[in-house]
Amino acid sequence: MLKDVLAMTAAIVILTVGTASAFWDVVFFGQKVAGATAAAPKPAPAERATATTIGSVKVIDTEDSTLTLVSPPALTLTLVVHDPQLLDGLRVGDPVAVTYYEALVIQLEPAGTATSVPDDLDTRRSPRPVTFIAGIAGVDGKRGTLTIKRLRGALETMKVRDAKILTGVRAGDLVQLTFMPAVVVSLEKSTGM
């Protein structure tokens, strides 16, 4: 009888760990077991518009190859810089002119129905879609843009792939969104702002 109970308990534990590893990232005996997550399709290059802005350097993160700018009127923009040499010689406060591929939201769902484990880590340097939780600060369905407030407090406005995903989304909502990060095309110091 005791052997049967122990065997059933072992089977339940094995099934539980196997099921958990299939759906979530699980640490099992010191090894991280990555589970499957639903991925939004990567947008075609033509879907990502380029934009140009002049701003002041707020943060230079050489480890993550990102540059954060503040441009009028007090908008914060974090850009992936694939060529780290572009960051050489830049200092916080420098005015710069930047041409970049705009960030593009490709999937949006309420945070309570999230299908993957979200975080607010700055993994923006990834060339693949990034998923995280954010608060909605504003929605503009006519322009197809979404202004988010990241968990660290920065406001950021992004275009959405399809304005239909904004239906029912309001300021104050907490959402899980998947987006392609903004990427620098060209960067040069500017003489004025």
Domain-wise residue ranges, the chain: 2-33, 49-95+185-189, 104-182
Q: Report the pLDDT value the prediction gives residue 82, as an integer from 0 to 100.
A: 85
Q: Report the pLDDT value the prediction gives residue 123, as an integer from 0 to 100.
A: 42
Which of 14-23, 58-67, 141-150 has the least mean pLDDT? Answer: 14-23
Mean pLDDT of the chain: 74
More confident residue, 103 or 138: 138
More confident residue, 33 or 153: 153
Q: Which CATH architecture has domain 104-182?
A: Beta Barrel (2.40)
Specify whether the CB–CB gap between 191 and 95 falls below 8 A: yes
- In sequence order, the 6+-apart residues with CB closer than 8 A to the CB of 90 are 57, 60, 67, 96, 189
Q: Report the pLDDT value the prediction gives residue 18, as an integer from 0 to 100.
A: 56
More confident residue, 88 or 27: 88
Q: Report the pLDDT value the prediction gives residue 124, as an integer from 0 to 100.
A: 43
pLDDT per residue as tens digits for the range 146-192: 888 866 677 788 888 888 888 888 998 888 888 888 888 888 888 76
Which of 82-96, 102-116, 131-145 has the least mean pLDDT? Answer: 102-116
Specify whether the CB–CB gap between 91 and 62 falls below 8 A: no
In whole angstroms, give the CA distance from residue 90 to residue 28.
44
Q: What are phi and psi of 168, to 5 degrees?
A: 85, -5
Any idea what the Cα angle at residue 136 is, between residues 134 and 138, rounded to 5°? 150
Q: Report the pLDDT value the prediction gives residue 10, as an integer from 0 to 100.
A: 66
In whole angstroms, give the CA distance from residue 89 to residue 189.
10
Q: How confident is the model at residue 119 (pLDDT cuts 50, 70, 90)?
A: very low
